[in-house]
Amino acid sequence: MSMDLALEAWVSSLIETSKLKWMLGAGHRWQPGEKLKLLFTGYNGTRNTGSDVRVEEMLRQIRHILGADKCELSVLSQNFTLTQGYFEDVKQVKLPDIFPPMLFREVPKYDGVVACEGSMFKSKFANALTTMMVGSLGIASAQNKLSVGYGAEAGYMDPLVAKMVARYCKDSLVITRNPESQTVLGKLGVSTELGTDTAWTFEPHGAEYGREALRKVGWDEQTPVLAVCPINPFWWPVKASVTKFLAKTVTGAFEDSHYRSVYFHNSGAEVNQAYKYYLSAMTNAVDRFRKEHRVFVILVAMEMLDTDACEKIAANLGGVPVLSSATYDMYQLVSILRCCHLLVSSRYHSIVTSMPVMVASAGVTMDERIRNLMHERGHQDLLLTVDDQDLEDKLFAIMGKLLKEHESIRDGIGKTVAKNLKLMARMGVYFEEHLQRRYPEFPTHQGLQNWEDYLPPLSPNLRKLLESYS
């Protein structure tokens, strides 16, 4: 049996055990007058800027809807040092690499779970991650507690993982961030509503911070800034392997593909060749573009794992600046992105978090997330895939289009941001309605509400954008 299968069986057994314990009368149920205790489960504590930003905004939104005096929120973190200064007034709970015992111990302490991972139901990145999401939602559902997937995406899942989702998430509410994910989950019998990502309301440090950071790495304050956000698209999924772990421990083998603990990236000659092609195409396209157009190029690692790709491209370009989430926190890094003029990214959230100031952006995608977003914007012509034939030539052409057509591109971006803010507000309504079904006595808003009341407080920039595009 593979480690992934063992993990899936382990989590399934813990959900069944949790259901039995609840039926036998064990466990606590929320009572009127108590604060509602919610656990937010996701992939935080690795300096993945996108994950941290979207969870920050989830916490702000849910606290705003419930009332800060009526709830007590907690969030998982793999490394408290890397989430220091994040998630204000929220308790952080340690997420260990081997997570099933933690879920079995922690989830019953709460009145509900909000699963936060964007790639919540898919095997593309790691079956272990989806298994953790199913475990947290499933244990909460088994005890008839609040069980919500918030801003989720669903794609292809291995058969056993898909069966777990169908069995253990059928009583959860999953608010997806696109219709395609609704289709996937609907086929599994999971109840869904259409929402969006939650990063739209995030407000980083002001532009003065980003401009100063760019000056420190050589920007002259005049030249347009081109930000490039590469990844290693080919070393997913991550899988658990005791065999590789033992071999690494004894002989040092598999060091290059080691993720952490017993988890290893996809590896091999084909992976290396595909990665080399991607890096070469990105490098050559950017090099050609900067020779024809006056731009200041920076490489941005939205997750610490992206630093390798950034450093390789930067070196091939003669040493352009690399700005990594290993050094800059989410407030700093998004501020820097928003001071750029053009963006080419394989990271979904670098595009999303730069859109509120309408940075002209294009995507080079490894999965459906950026594809869905570009289709929503009406910018299919600004989309490529990481293994696209003639990636270099096509990317060079797209960067030219970003430069030439940036005004019309910005208009499409502004309309999309305004639309998604309204969708995010609807998510708050769906959350409140689901809460009322689980806990009818919990005090919620009374009477008609303005749709903006279901969003966390908005920045002046977002209010101005809404005025322009509503």
Q: Which of 125, 124, 395, 398 is nearest to 277 (CA)?
A: 395
Checking if the pLDDT of 296 tops 90, the result is: yes
pTM to 2 decimal places: 0.92
pLDDT band of residue 328 (cuts 50, 70, 90) is: very high
Instruction: Identify the pLDDT of residue 251.
Output: 82
Segment 37-57 mean pLDDT: 95
Instruction: Identify the pLDDT of residue 322.
Output: 98
CATH number at residue 244: 3.40.50.2000
Residue 191 sits in the same domain as residue 227: no
Residue 82 sits in the same domain as residue 123: yes
CATH number at residue 18: 3.40.50
Q: Which of 161, 195, 229 is the last residue of a domain?
A: 195
SS (H, E, C) the chain: CCHHHHHHHHHHHHHHHHHHHHHCCCCCCCCCCCCEEEEEECCCCCCCHHHHHHHHHHHHHHHHHHCHHHEEEEEEECCCCCCCCCCCCCEEEECCCCCHHHHHHHHHHCCEEEECCCCCECCCCCHHHHHHHHHHHHHHHHCCCEEEEEEECECCCCHHHHHHHHHHCCCCEEEECCHHHHHHHHCCCCEEEECCCCHHHCCCCCHHHHHHHHHHCCCCCCCCEEEEECCCCCCCCCEECHHHHHHHHHHCCCCCCEEECCEECCCCHHHHHHHHHHHHHHHHHHHHHHHHCCCEEEEEECCHHHHHHHHHHHHHCCCCCEEECCCCCHHHHHHHHHCCCEEEECCHHHHHHHHHHCCEEEEEECCHHHHHHHHHHCCHHHEEECCCCCHHHHHHHHHHHHHHCHHHHHHHHHHHHHHHHHHHHHHHHHHHHHHHHHCCCCCCCCCCCCHHHHCCCCCHHHHHHHHHHC
Give the tens place of pLDDT for each residue, 158-192: 999 999 999 999 999 999 988 989 999 999 999 99
Instruction: Identify the pLDDT of residue 253.
Output: 74
Instruction: Identify the pLDDT of residue 27.
Output: 80
Instruction: Identify the pLDDT of residue 1.
Output: 53
In this predicted structure, which of 11-20, 201-210, 246-255, 411-420 has the lowest mean pLDDT? 246-255
Checking if the pLDDT of 103 tops 70, the result is: yes
Segment 22-37 mean pLDDT: 90
Instruction: Identify the pLDDT of residue 446.
Output: 62
* Residue 457 falls inside a structural domain: no
* Residue 441 falls inside a structural domain: no
* Residue 280 falls inside a structural domain: yes
Mean pLDDT of the chain: 93
Checking if the pLDDT of 125 tops 80, the result is: no
Instruction: Identify the pLDDT of residue 83.
Output: 95
pLDDT band of residue 267 (cuts 50, 70, 90) is: confident
pLDDT band of residue 250 (cuts 50, 70, 90) is: confident
Q: Which domain holds residue 28?
A: 3-195
User: Structure tokens of 366?
Assistant: 């490894």
Give the tens place of pLDDT for each residue, 340-358: 999 999 999 999 999 999 9
In this predicted structure, which of 162-176, 217-231, 243-257 has the lowest mean pLDDT? 243-257
* Residue 129 falls inside a structural domain: yes
Segment 94-122 mean pLDDT: 94
Beta bridge partners of 112: 38, 146
Q: Which of 404, 426, 445 is the last residue of a domain?
A: 404
Checking if the pLDDT of 104 tops 80, the result is: yes
Residue 222 sits in the same domain as residue 369: yes
pLDDT band of residue 399 (cuts 50, 70, 90) is: very high
User: Structure tokens of 56?
Assistant: 């920050």
CA–CA separation, 73 and 242 (whole Å):
35
Residue 172 sits in the same domain as residue 212: no
Residue 148 sits in the same domain as residue 35: yes
Percentage of the chain exceeding pLDDT 90: 80
Residue 28 sits in the same domain as residue 88: yes
C-beta atoms surrounding 376 within 10 Å: 17
Instruction: Identify the pLDDT of residue 123.
Output: 87
* Residue 467 falls inside a structural domain: no
- Number of structural domains in the chain: 2
Residue type present at position 168: Y
Segment 371-397 mean pLDDT: 95
Instruction: Identify the pLDDT of residue 213.
Output: 98
Instruction: Identify the pLDDT of residue 447.
Output: 58
Checking if the pLDDT of 257 tops 80, the result is: no
Checking if the pLDDT of 290 tops 80, the result is: yes
CA–CA separation, 442 and 22 (whole Å):
21
Residue 140 sits in the same domain as residue 217: no
Residue 238 sits in the same domain as residue 172: no
